[in-house]
Amino acid sequence: VPTSTLRDPEADDQRVIKPEWLVVIGVCTHLGCVPIANAGDWGGYYCPCHGSHYDASGRIRKGP
């Protein structure tokens, strides 16, 4: 999924007030499972329940 097609396409430095902090909620948007950090494509998270991939900002990039 190209970043430009995401609901929040801005880069992290455009989305935050204090870039040294990143807060994400570790719940899969599909089924509510807990994604595994640093395990998905795009340097982010991987949900083992159905194979969803999230980027480091927590945006869904691949999967249900």
Residues annotated catalytic, as ranges: 50
CA distance 42 to 53: 8
Total residue length of the chain: 64
Helix, strand or coil for residue 24? coil
